[in-house]
Amino acid sequence: MRNWFRGSVIAMGMAMGAAGAITWLSVTRTAGQAPRPARTADGKPNFNGVWQALNEANWDLQAHQARPGAVTQPGVYPYDYARVPAAPVLALGAAGGVPGSAGVVEGDGQIPYKPEAAAKKKDNAEHWIDRDPELKCYVPGSPRGMYLPYPFQIVQGANQIHLAFEFADAARTIYLNKVDEPPADIAMGHSVGHWEGDALVVDSKDFRGNWLDRAGNFYSDKLHLVERLTPITPDAIHYEATIDDPETFTRPWKISMPLYRRLEPNAQLIEYNCVEFVEEFMYGHARKKPLVTRWEGENMIINITRKLTPMRK
């Protein structure tokens, strides 16, 4: 299935090229790469290529201080800043820490939750390991897929723009022509786009509820997402997303960030087959005889006791 998907991306790019979508008006050169077209035949910005966000948005969309782990517990002193890593992340040391960030939420930097949704967000954060869909290798949803710390590829055509994500083999299709809506909600949403000058505007709905980051921020299946992708340079895009979910938030709110083209001569998506990596994490409790029960390092021993109750959704 995954090989078929990867082949389908290549085939789609070839089909789009045959349709006249990959014909160029100008060329931009970048050190280490072959000449790259800057615009398509109809004068639109050339978004073809491999892109990646370089920020801390996937940890938390809002501004936050660095901390010793995504899961912490009180330390010796009764202050929030003096918390220490909790047992599940203690052995990771600095690799398990959370980097600080100025945030990507526009305006006052606050996410306008309704009171009951704010309580759910707080509870999500406290149960991050049990609940974050990313840890289970679930499809990341939109807009989270755009700023995960993994690259994604854009294949641009005349009537469709395809986005293939390295994480979980997720994919989105942005339709530039009129198409029927899907029969059911989908994780990445149903996306219809149009051009406003050099800006690609994408209107998406028909979502399933999902998380926005590792901090427990989330949206419901009532999400209406409007994204704008505007070229800054041939190798950078200004990305913004307006999040409108009347079930969860008191008003629409916006995030924005740059996306950067990967400039390596061999830039490509490398399969990240994380579904197989999380089988023991998700289903190890169902084994008749537990497989992962103990880890012993040079300075600590960690014993694992499985709960027999089902994993929370």
**Residue 233 lies inside a defined structural domain of this protein:** yes
**Residue 72 lies inside a defined structural domain of this protein:** no
Split into its structural domains, the chain has a count of 1
Q: What is the pLDDT of residue 310?
A: 56
Spatial distance between the Cα atoms of 135 and 167, rounded to a whole number of angstroms: 11
Spans of the chain below 70 pLDDT: 1-37, 80-81, 309-313
**Residue 205 lies inside a defined structural domain of this protein:** yes
Biggest CA-to-CA distance, the chain: 66
Q: What is the pLDDT of residue 40?
A: 84
**110 to each of 102, 117, 248, how far by Cα in Å?**
12, 14, 14
Q: What is the pLDDT of residue 8?
A: 43
**Residue 74 lies inside a defined structural domain of this protein:** no
Strand duo 236-244 + 253-261: pairing? antiparallel
**Residue 90 lies inside a defined structural domain of this protein:** no
**Residue 246 lies inside a defined structural domain of this protein:** yes
Q: What is the pLDDT of residue 7?
A: 45
Q: What is the pLDDT of residue 10?
A: 43
**Residue 81 lies inside a defined structural domain of this protein:** no
Q: Are 151 and 164 in contact (CB under 8 A)?
A: no
**302 to each of 89, 283, 286, 294, 295, how far by Cα in Å?**
11, 20, 20, 6, 5
Give the position of tokens 């679930």: 138
Q: Are 263 and 235 in contact (CB under 8 A)?
A: yes
Token duo for residue 191: 């996306």
Burial class (CB in 10 A: 0-12, 13-18, 19+), 135: middle
Q: Minimal CA–CA distance to 256: which of 238, 283, 269, 274?
A: 238
Phi-psi region of 134 (alpha: psi -120 to 50; beta: other; left: phi over 0): alpha
**Residue 211 lies inside a defined structural domain of this protein:** yes
Range of the domain at 136: 2-64+100-261
Phi-psi region of 141 (alpha: psi -120 to 50; beta: other; left: phi over 0): left
